[in-house]
């Protein structure tokens, strides 16, 4: 583990299993950090991959730094890839992290990247607008989330993690796993959490996805109540030509924890090709 200087001079905490295998860069979701990938690091490493996780600016052990736009966040991803001199890499973006993968490929190209995985990703465009009627996030809902997070973040994260790991009314993880997620949420800088919420809710990635030409996997739970499959994963799959789609039955948003076995099988199956 160590630190890398990000796109705006910010320090990013990262962890790298090392080794000579194909590098897999795991980009975490909001408002978690790189530790959210612990169920994937071991299996990927055992399969011979070099696994890199890092904390987004303002989350986990990475220092906060304006701005929190996707251009800046994709710049941080580029900084990680370049500092570690990664080539033939696989980028895995979960939820908010899917936006970073899309924006990185659009702005920085795929010279260093072999393939991409969008996992429960916010792409192609969450916000419901007249030009994006399939967007699942209404402006009133986005405003309410920001107000709730501002008013009482402990209460907000308690409710959010329940939704994150639930399929309908059923919590799909243990209470210990949910509490672990809450602890990660509380490590996030408050302003970073708010501004990143605004970024993932209102950023349009449709043009970015049009520029994705490398082999791509889309994986999503069909019971995702946070980033619904129909408005996100399904549309991402349709937007990226020849992409593969894996839909995990009964899986909530946090399927890399709740359905880790199925999630890891999809990742490893795609990476083995």
Would you name the residues annotated as active-site residues? 95, 224, 253
| DSSP secondary structure letters along 75-86 | HHHHHHHHHTT-
d(Cα 100, Cα 34) in Å, to the nearest integer? Answer: 14
Closest CA relative to residue 4, chosen from 69, 43, 56: 56
- What is the number of other CB atoms lying within 10 angstroms of the CB of residue 28? 26
| Pair 205, 212: CB distance under 8 Å | no
Q: Are strands 11-16 and 23-27 parallel, antiparallel or unpaired?
A: unpaired
Neighbouring residues of 157: CB distance < 8 A, sequence distance ≥ 6: 31, 182, 185, 186
| Pair 5, 82: CB distance under 8 Å | no
- What is the number of other CB atoms lying within 10 angstroms of the CB of residue 85? 8
């Amino acid at each position: 583990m160590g630190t890398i200087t990000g796109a705006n001079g910010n320090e990013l905490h990262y962890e790298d299993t090392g080794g000579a295998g194909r590098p897999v860069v795991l980009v975490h979701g909001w408002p978690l950090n790189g530790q959210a990938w612990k169920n994937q690091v071991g299996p990927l490493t055992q399969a011979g991959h070099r696994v890199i996780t890092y904390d987004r600016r303002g989350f986990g052990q990475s220092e906060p730094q304006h701005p929190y736009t996707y251009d800046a966040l994709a710049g941080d991803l580029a900084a990680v890839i370049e500092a570690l001199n990664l080539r033939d890499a696989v980028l895995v973006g979960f939820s908010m992290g899917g936006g970073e993968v899309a924006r990185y490929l659009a702005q920085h190209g795929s010279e260093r990247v072999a393939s991409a995985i969008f996992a429960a990703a916010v792409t192609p465009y969450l916000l419901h607008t007249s030009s994006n009627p399939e967007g699942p996030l209404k402006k009133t809902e986005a405003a309410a989330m920001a107000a709730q997070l501002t008013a009482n973040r402990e209460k907000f994260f308690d409710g959010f993690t329940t939704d994150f790991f639930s399929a309908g009314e059923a919590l799909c993880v243990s209470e210990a796993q949910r509490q672990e997620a809450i602890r990660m949420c509380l490590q996030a800088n408050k302003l970073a959490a708010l501004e990143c919420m605004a970024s993932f809710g209102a950023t349009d990635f449709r043009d970015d996805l049009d520029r994705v030409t490398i082999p791509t996997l889309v994986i999503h739970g069909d019971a995702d109540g946070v980033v619904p499959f129909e408005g996100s994963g399904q549309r991402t799959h349709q937007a990226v030509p020849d992409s593969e789609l894996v839909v995990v039955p009964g899986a909530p948003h946090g399927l890399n924890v709740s359905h880790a076995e199925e999630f890891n099988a999809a990742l490893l199956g795609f990476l083995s090709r």
